[in-house]
Each structure stands twice: as structure tokens, then as C-alpha cells.
């Protein structure tokens, strides 16, 4: 029973129980979805396995989006297990911590390319792989941030990457629309996660959002999860190419 009954989804980007992807996984599982998770390397396997058990989810292997063969293996596992996929969540981003501080103009070519590869291109190549497993349509969701639209302190090259990711959502929505595969993004407000700890002065950004957002607070992974549920379920069947803010309303004032 539930909104997601009979639906099967692959969720990439659970690092621990504070991850946004974990909030989405829980919301979907609560509504009856069957879920597959990946982990990035052995260190994360130990964190992800107990979380998967908690949800009755499958763990379908190591996934590092910079190693195409790991993506091939994960999708082959999903194909063997389920034969098809109804939804996919991409909650992956990376940039050198050293460059998420100070000035954007100092970005190195190496880190620029790596940031774009892991945070943007990965969604495109994953969408192509998902398409092959979605003969009856499906829903793809990625995570972005307001730093794509406005200059946020220290977000730097990641802001440039998120702008490209948001543009990718629109191009992918067109490419996959005729197959009834929808592509959307949630622009989440700042949340204290492992990835966020790499951003300079993050505590200040959290406080700033708390003082200035219409709801006078920040958001939780659970709240992003509940909004994710809308995009991953049939409730949003008429919606694609959208970037939806789940940020306590900060974007209307910031
Ligand atoms: O304030 C925030 N936390 C916000 C996050 C606000 C708005 C958006 N986001 C986005 C992030 O940019 C990211 O796209 O949400 C997504 C999920 O991030 P998260 O939940 O904040 O962070 P975390 O729990 O750390 O999960 C991100 C994970 C990685 O964790 P680490 O800590 O190692 O960066 O992305 C994965 C990894 O598990 N990841 C990779 N997965 C496969 N291959 C790779 C990679 N090469 N690199 C990172």
C-alpha cells in the first residue's frame, strides 16, 4: 500500500544517515517503494549496509561515477534483480574543499573538470542508463542549490556546476519526455551533511538562512524527502524539467 506501492527505485548518494538521499529513501520506503542503494568505496559500505537493512533495501554495489565500469556493474545488477526501474535519485556532488573557500577566480582547471564530471556529467550518463530500464516511463530526480542562481559565499565552482546541472535537467526532460520519463531537480536549502562540511563558513550560511527565510528556519533531509516523494510518485505525473525550491522560502528573499 502507499503512494509508491509497486515502484522500484535506485538511489545514489547515501553517505550516512544525515544525507539528503537518505531522507528521500526513507520517504519512498514509507510509501511502499522497493529501494536499491549504492555506496562509494569500502568506508561508506559499512555505513550504508545497516541503513539499507533498516529500510529493507537492496545494496547493489560500489559506485564511483568517475569509474564508468562501476556504473555498468550497478545497472547490470539492477537489471538482473528487477528488469526495470521506476525512479532514480542522483544526490552526488564533489569539489576540492580547498576551492570551496575564497575566490571563484582561483579555480584550477583540474578541479573545474572534476567538479563538472562528478556533479554534472554523472547525471547525464546515469539518465542514459536509466532510460534503458524505463520502458514504461519513470522519474529522475537530482539535487541542486541556490548557488546556481545567485552568488553564494564560498560556493564557487560548485555554483557553476549546479547551474549546468539545472540546464541538464531541462535538456534531459526534452530528450526523455517522449518516453514518459520525467526529469526534475529539488533545490534544497542548506543542510549540515558531510558534503556541506567542505564548504567554507557553512555554519554562517545556515544561520543566515534561519534569520532570513520566510519560515525563519532551515530545512531537514526528511522535508526534502517528502518533497522528493511528490516528484518520484505519480502525483507529479504532469511535471517535468522543473527546479523546485525546498528551502523554507529563502529564494524569494535572498
Ligand atoms: O546543504 C546541503 N547539504 C545541500 C546539498 C543543499 C543543496 C543541495 N545539496 C546537494 C549536494 O550538492 C549533492 O548533490 O545534495 C546532494 C547530496 O548531498 P548531501 O546529502 O548534502 O551530502 P552527502 O551526505 O555527503 O552525500 C553526497 C555524496 C558523497 O558523500 P561525500 O561526503 O563523500 O561527498 O555524494 C557521493 C558520496 O557518497 N559522491 C559520489 N558518489 C559516487 N561517485 C562521488 C563519486 N565520485 N563523489 C561524491
Residue 2 lies in a domain: no
pLDDT at 198: 87
- The owner of cell 528488469 is 83
pLDDT band at residue 86 under the 50/70/90 scheme:
very high
Other C-beta atoms closer than 10 Å to the C-beta of 195 total: 20
Return the C-alpha cell found at 250: 529563502
Chain segment 109-126, per-residue pLDDT in tens: 999 999 999 999 999 999
Query: Measuring from atom 17 of ligand 1, which residue has the nearest CA?
Result: 91
Return the C-alpha cell found at 39: 555506496
| Alpha-carbon span 20 to 173, nearest angstrom | 23
The range of the structural domain enclosing residue 206 comes to 8-252
Residue 3 lies in a domain: no
Asked if the ipTM is above 0.90, the reply is yes
The C-alpha angle 88, 238, 75, rounded to 5 degrees, equals 15
Return the C-alpha cell found at 49: 549496509
Residue 1 lies in a domain: no
Strand ranges in the chain using DSSP code E only, listed in sequence order: 8-12, 34-39, 58-62, 87-90, 138-144, 181-188, 243-246
Separation of 91 CA from ligand 1 center, angstroms? Answer: 6
Please determine, for residue 200, whether its predicted confidence score (pLDDT) is greater than 90: no
Chain segment 158-184, per-residue pLDDT in tens: 999 999 999 999 999 999 999 999 999
Please state the domain count of the chain. Answer: 1
Separation of 171 CA from ligand 1 center, angstroms? Answer: 22
Residue 67 lies in a domain: yes
| Alpha-carbon span 36 to 77, nearest angstrom | 10
Query: Measuring from atom 24 of ligand 1, which residue has the nearest CA?
Result: 19
CATH number at residue 68: 3.40.50.720
Amino acid at each position: 500500500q502507499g503512494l509508491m506501492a509497486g515502484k522500484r527505485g535506485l538511489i545514489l548518494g547515501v553517505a550516512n544517515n544525515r544525507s539528503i538521499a537518505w531522507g528521500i529513501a526513507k520517504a519512498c520506503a514509507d510509501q511502499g517503494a522497493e529501494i536499491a542503494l549504492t555506496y562509494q568505496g569500502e568506508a561508506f559500505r559499512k555505513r550504508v549496509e545497516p541503513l539499507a537493512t533498516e529500510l529493507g533495501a537492496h545494496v547493489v554495489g560500489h559506485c564511483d561515477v568517475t569509474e564508468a565500469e562501476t556504473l555498468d556493474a550497478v545497472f547490470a545488477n539492477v537489471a538482473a534483480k528487477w528488469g526495470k526501474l521506476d525512479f532514480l535519485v542522483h544526490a552526488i556532488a564533489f569539489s576540492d574543499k580547498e576551492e570551496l573557500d575564497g575566490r571563484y577566480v582561483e579555480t584550477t582547471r583540474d578541479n573545474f573538470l572534476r567538479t563538472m564530471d562528478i556533479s554534472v556529467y554523472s547525471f547525464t550518463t546515469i539518465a542514459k542508463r536509466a532510460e534503458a530500464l524505463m520502458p514504461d516511463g519513470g522519474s529522475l530526480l537530482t539535487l541542486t542549490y541556490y548557488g546556481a542562481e545567485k552568488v553564494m559565499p564560498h560556493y564557487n565552482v560548485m555554483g557553476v556546476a549546479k547551474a549546468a546541472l539545472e540546464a541538464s535537467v531541462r535538456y534531459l526532460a526534452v530528450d526523455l519526455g517522449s518516453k514518459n520519463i520525467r526529469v526534475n531537480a529539488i533545490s534544497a536549502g542548506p543542510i549540515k551533511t558531510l558534503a556541506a562540511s567542505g564548504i567554507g563558513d557553512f555554519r554562517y550560511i545556515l544561520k543566515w538562512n534561519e534569520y532570513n527565510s520566510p519560515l525563519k528556519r532551515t530545512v531537514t533531509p526528511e522535508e526534502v524527502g517528502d518533497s522528493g516523494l511528490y516528484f518520484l510518485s505519480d502525483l507529479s505525473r504532469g511535471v517535468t524539467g522543473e527546479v523546485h525550491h525546498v528551502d523554507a522560502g529563502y529564494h524569494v528573499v535572498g
